[in-house]
Structures are given as C-alpha cells and as structure tokens.
Amino acid sequence: MTVFENVAYPLRVRRRQAAEIKDLVLRALRLVEMERFAQRLAPALSGGQQQRVAIARALVFEPKVLLLDEPLSNLDAKLRLQMGDEFRSIQRRLGMTSLYVTHDQSEAMALSDRVVVMDHGRIQQIGSPEEIYRYPANRTVAAFFGTPNLLEANVETCARLDGRRVRLEVVGRGWRGPCEAASEVRPGQAVTVMVRPEDARIASPGLDAGGYELRWSGRIAHTIFRGATRSIVVETDEGRLNVDAPSFGDYSIGDNVTVVVPQQAAWAVVEQMEAAR
C-alpha cells in the first residue's frame, strides 16, 4: 500500500466520504512532514519515515486518547531523539491525551507531562518529570533514572523547611552533613541519600566550597571523556562517587580531590517495609 492508503485505512474502515478522507489524510501527513511521500509505497520508506506514517495513521481520525507502546524502540539514537521531539510537538499542537510506554528514561523525561514509574507491576510514584527525577519516593525510583550515587546514612536531626520538605542532618561512613527529604524522619533511622552526578562538583584545591554543604575527600580512580561532559569516578571512604564534570577540565587519575554537593541537591529516601504476603 502507498503512504496515502496506509493513513487513509482507519477512515475507510469508518466509512468516511472520499473528499473528507483526502483532506484528513493530507493534513495528517503534513503534521509529520510526509506529504510529499503520499504516493510512495510504504515498504520503500526508511525506518524513521515508516514510523512517521504510523503516527499519522494513528492521528488521522483524531482519537481522544492515543496509546503508544515503545513506538521509537527500533530507531537509531539520533533518529529516536528527532522523532521524540517531533511527536511531542504534534501532541502539544493537537492537545491529545497520550499514554506512552517506554523503558528509556530520557524519553520519559522529554515527552511527558506526568510520569508513572512501575516496578514488578506496582506503581512506585506518579508525578511530573522533574518531581520524579529530583524527588524520588524511594530507592527504586531514584535508581531508575540515570546513574545516581546512592549513599547509606543515618539521621542525626530533622527540621521542617516548608510544607513540602524537611532538612536532615545525616552521618555516613567518613562523611556527614545536611540533605533534604519529603517527610520527617526520626533520629537514628537509616536513609539512602541520592546525589546525581551532574549535581556533584570537584572543588578546586584550597578553594572554599561556599554554598556546597556535603563533602567527600578521595582520589580520582578513572575518567571517561563523553564530549560535552567528562565522567569522573572518585574513590572515597564511602565508596565510589560518580561526578559529571565539564569536559575541558584537567583531571588526572590519582589526583586527590574533594567532591562537594549542595544541600538542596542531596535527597534522602526511607525504604518502606513491604507488607507480609
């Protein structure tokens, strides 16, 4: 079938008039920038073009809800990013509710207004992408997005900051300092403190950390150049810390360094005991 016939199929099934079908199909193809391929045979298209046609076919009869199950999973990384941006733009223009299933964390962050994180068939947390990423409800959610540092600690003191967060003073193995949490935690209770690599910084030698509240001393174990950033692994008494630093920095294996993190970027979670079955 041609591209036009593929997109027209849902309308023909619904017995729409020929003139209406033509108008709706061409409009859907314009949305995905495939109008000039209307008469091309679908098997002759590239993988990315076929995905665009599939989206147009789903949109053409203007459903109230669009269900997508990993629609970009078969595309290469660059095309996947491009198609994700295009789909988000289309979805916003049409104002259509979409339920989008994906195992790709960055795709979930970029495409969603609201994210539902599930594990073993159970909902772990529901919230905006930023809320899920910055303020995970438990260790499972914290570990799912990116490669965070998850540090074991015990609470020393707890004080209310505002209606949504509390400030904790915690102590770990060879380190102590403040972090934030969603609710009050009693002194002595064990928590997991999440520090994302992009929120950690390697302080310059002899320079005061300023507003950075948590500190770890250690040695650079290895570095990986990633273009825009450099991934640095620092060996500390707590274990290994992952730090995302600017790629142009001068970092050498074996250097003694101090890793610093601001209070508001360190988030503590308490694991809830699962009820007996």
The CATH number given to whatever domain includes residue 256 is: 2.40.50.140
pLDDT tier, 210 (very low <50, low <70, confident <90, very high otherwise): low
Q: Are residues 169 and 81 in the same domain?
A: no
- To the nearest whole number, what is the mean pLDDT of the chain? 88
Other C-beta atoms closer than 10 Å to the C-beta of 176 total 14
**Residue whose structure tokens are 């994302």:** 196
Q: How many domains does the chain have?
A: 2
pLDDT tier, 212 (very low <50, low <70, confident <90, very high otherwise): low
Give the C-alpha separation, 257 to 70, whole Å. Answer: 42
Q: Could you tell me the residue range of the domain that residue 266 belongs to?
A: 146-277
pLDDT of residue 178: 93
Q: What is the pTM of this model?
A: 0.77
What value does the mean pLDDT take over residues 168-188? 92
Q: Are residues 105 and 169 in the same domain?
A: no
Other C-beta atoms closer than 10 Å to the C-beta of 148 total 22
